[in-house]
Structure 1
């Protein structure tokens, strides 16, 4: 078995298990399969016994989340290649395969690189509110920049060199044996903004060894074991992480770059716990800067489906009150308030105020009220919506999310 892998909760650990030997196993496929089944059984027991599992929606979403983690892990295992075809592709995270509270406004792209090589990333910026580039070595960030900080021509075309050695012009440092490039798009206007169109190619003399492969039975054995560890450890990691914020409140902004987040992303993380007839009113002075948004997740740290529910609001979508304060209502029942965040029947879960390239990262105030009393607790000029208007808003969200990932 070997020593436990502290990075086992991350999908990339499954690929690395085959390429570098992490994840245990020496080619014994029956034992590896038994280990996977044992880890899945333990994960199912963890969902069933967790104190955050309080109603049928909570339980069903937890068991469904295990299927999501399996799908993410299997995709990672099957696509591993010691000499990958170079492409900037979408990650396995989208509106269906969701873990770790990914951003509802985002498309994430990734390219797997080989350490020691030099690459040229080129294409068109698109019109998304934010297009960020990050090079990583495993989970550690190496370099981070906005495309808007690079030299970009009038049509939005640009190129940037990725290498260990500094280059003239647009350049980002690459380090480590197993580097990757991550591209994040944050959209404000889901209907109008377009993502970038990017390509990547290796340039210069080839220096890195191509062949990191191992015997097929050894590689598959390691991946199967790593898959079991990923499903169980990812579930437990975020259950433990979710216990950190105060009930119906927020922690101060934190730096999550050690977990792979961009250093400029300062999330303000909270937790809600509500009865069906209760609502949580959040108040904050919205920050000034490139991007901010609210989003809700369930207790398994899955973002609540933002195409079927109004579980997120960004600066383009939210209504700011006349006094400059952003007020939103978190509840499972629609209070008719424009700034409603839908818990989708979950009894408890995560809240994030994402602040990206903003002057401040404020901590919202929060108070619990009865859903029936929400209107009385808000300013008289609070923006309201009718049931028909809400249905139209949800339908527009559904269409926009479908277009984003189709």
Structure 2
């Protein structure tokens, strides 16, 4: 699991070694970074200057994510529900543009109480995990919060009376996902977590000397290179300008109720992709686009995502979306921001169906003639206002 950030913290807390490992560990890090740079330069998805620049910048993102994970590794973690390693700047693995991800690092054998207020987000999901293996999933709404949105749930290996979620494994964590439909009005939960009773065992002491640092440095190099390669390989799976059937990615840490429909666009500058689908019914769905490195295109600067609240459904009940680098003047536009190719995801969370969209490539100049006559259009001024509102909403989400 070297491609996941938590592998860096695990490396710091496991195994033995001597302080003389520091110099070769640093050399290993530099070698893996060099190999990652070569991989970006030679990747099939690197087809224009925007693709290349974003790939090299993505290495900085992965390095920042990994360094943060290394520095925060602690054998006795401070128990808090904090943000994960993704936001509007640190983007990897096609994180959801509608989402605020939180997590708490737990300790094996402990019992915890999670409590607080649900907030008003469209979806608030709780997941306990061991590494990247899910051990339990539920919505806060399943826990029946009171009329004001307050709730509490016990987290432990042994079943508890009332609201309870199972905690298992050597490296347990809690993940909280908020999916927002209306970015301007919906608010995230306010949560606290506390241990119940005495500690099951005293915290391990931090390893002496430089061996733990050496392991962190070595694991950091592996993470940057392997994460890059993992998602490059993953992006090669869907057909060009098409989608795979819905898949279960709970083996990669996704919630079991999330059925993503994953695709890939591959367009010339004078081309556009028209997607058509009957939108699913249920708790949450959205479209988003990313680049070849599986980095979500910045959703505060570009209209690179649309959810059920933001999208316009045509009079025949079909959702039609245009994917292109230039603005076609239709409301349902997904902006590739100049990338020649990249990922597309239709996320379906607790929906009755997870439909596979149809997709067809057209000349950009022909987009309007390929759409129904009553397609909702927007002016340049309306688009600018929409983007300004997105920018403000994303800033509020991650600056609070």
Find the counterpart in structure 2 of residue 221 from structure 1.
Answer: 214
Find the counterpart in structure 2 of residue 43 from structure 1.
Answer: 36
Counterpart check, 1:163 vs 2:156:
yes
Find the counterpart in structure 1 of residue 303 from structure 2.
Answer: 310
Counterpart check, 1:101 vs 2:94:
yes
Where 2:94 maps in the other structure, the secondary structure is coil
Find the counterpart in structure 2 of residue 32 from structure 1.
Answer: 25
Where 1:28 maps in the other structure, the secondary structure is helix
Between the aligned partners of 2:118 and 2:81, the Cα distance in structure 1 is: 13
Find the counterpart in structure 2 of residue 17 from structure 1.
Answer: 11
Find the counterpart in structure 1 of residue 256 from structure 2.
Answer: 263
- Contact 2:29–2:217, Cα closer than 8 Å, also in 1: yes
Offset, 1:292: 0.1
Between the aligned partners of 2:234 and 2:44, the Cα distance in structure 1 is: 14
Structure 2 gap segments, 5+ residues each: none
1:371 to 364, 369, 389: 364
Structure 1 residues 175-232: Cα deviation after superposition (integer angstroms, max 9, x where no partner):
0111000000000000000000001010123213411532240110000000000000
Offset, 1:369: 0.2
Counterpart check, 1:68 vs 2:68:
no
1:272 to 265, 287, 290: 265
Offset, 1:153: 1.0
Offset, 1:21: 3.1
Counterpart check, 1:183 vs 2:191:
no
TM-score by length of 2: 0.98
Between the aligned partners of 1:336 and 1:177, the Cα distance in structure 2 is: 52
Q: Which moved more, 1:95-104 or 1:146-155?
A: 146-155
Structure 1 outlier segments of 4+, above 4 Å:
24-27
Structure 1 residues 357-406: Cα deviation after superposition (integer angstroms, max 9, x where no partner):
00000000000001110000000000000111101100000000001001
Counterpart check, 1:204 vs 2:197:
yes
Counterpart check, 1:141 vs 2:134:
yes
2:376 to 365, 379, 383: 383
- Contact 2:113–2:195, Cα closer than 8 Å, also in 1: yes
Offset, 1:27: 5.2
Find the counterpart in structure 1 of residue 279 from structure 2.
Answer: 286
Find the counterpart in structure 2 of residue 125 from structure 1.
Answer: 118
* Number of residue equivalences: 399
Where 2:251 maps in the other structure, the secondary structure is helix
Offset, 1:26: 7.0
TM-score by length of 1: 0.97
Between the aligned partners of 1:283 and 1:121, the Cα distance in structure 2 is: 41
Aligned CA RMSD, in angstroms, stands at 1.1
- Contact 1:27–1:220, Cα closer than 8 Å, also in 2: no
Between the aligned partners of 1:372 and 1:18, the Cα distance in structure 2 is: 55
Offset, 1:151: 2.9
Between the aligned partners of 1:226 and 1:141, the Cα distance in structure 2 is: 23
Structure 1 residues 93-152: Cα deviation after superposition (integer angstroms, max 9, x where no partner):
100000000000000000000000000001000000000000000010000000000031
